[in-house]
Copies of this chain bind each other. A is one copy, B any other.
Amino acid sequence: MKLATLANGTRDGRLAVVSRDLAYATDAGGIAKTLQEALDDWTRLAPRLETLAISLEAGSVPRERFREHEALSPLPRAFQWIDGSAYLSHVELVRKARGAAMPPEFFTDPLLYQGGSDAFLAPRAPIRMPDENFGIDFEGEVAVIVKDVPMGADRTEAAASIVLVVIVNDVSLRNLIPAELAKGFGFFQSKPSSAFSPVAVTPDELGIAWDGGRLHLPLLVSRNGVLFGRPDAGAGMNFDFPALIAHAARTRPLGAGTIIGSGTVSNSEADGSPARPVSAGGDGYSCLAEARMVEAMTGGAPATEFLRFGDTVRIEIKNAGGHSVFGAIEQTVEAYGRPVA
Contacts and interface: CB of A to CB of B under 8 A. Distances in A.
A147 interface: no
B150 A339 contact: yes
B113 A186 contact: yes
Contacts of A319: none
A310 interface: no
A75 to B, nearest CB: 10
A227 interface: no
B251 A192 contact: yes
B80 A118 contact: yes
Among A82, A118, A129, A257, the most chain B Cβ lie within 10 Å of the Cβ of A118
A128 interface: yes
Contacts of A128: 151
A184 B181 CA distance: 6
Contacts of A119: 79, 252-255
Contacts of A118: 79-80, 254-255, 257-258
User: Can you tell how many copies of this chain the complex includes?
Assistant: 2
Nearest to A193: B252
A252 B134 CA distance: 13
Given A251-B129, A251-B192, A80 B116 contact: yes
Interface in A131-154: 134, 150-152
A189 interface: yes
Interface string A157-197: 10000000000000001001000010111111110110000
Closest 3 CB pairs of A and B: A186-B186, A118-B255, A79-B118
25 contacts: A11-B40, A79-B79, A82-B188, A103-B183, A109-B183, A111-B184, A113-B185, A114-B115, A114-B116, A114-B186, A114-B187, A117-B117, A118-B255, A118-B257, A118-B258, A119-B252, A119-B253, A129-B251, A130-B152, A150-B338, A151-B336, A152-B336, A181-B185, A184-B186, A189-B251
Given A79-B119, A114-B186, 17 more contacts: A79-B118, A111-B184, A113-B185, A114-B115, A117-B117, A118-B255, A118-B258, A119-B253, A134-B251, A151-B338, A152-B336, A157-B341, A184-B186, A185-B186, A186-B186, A186-B187, A190-B251
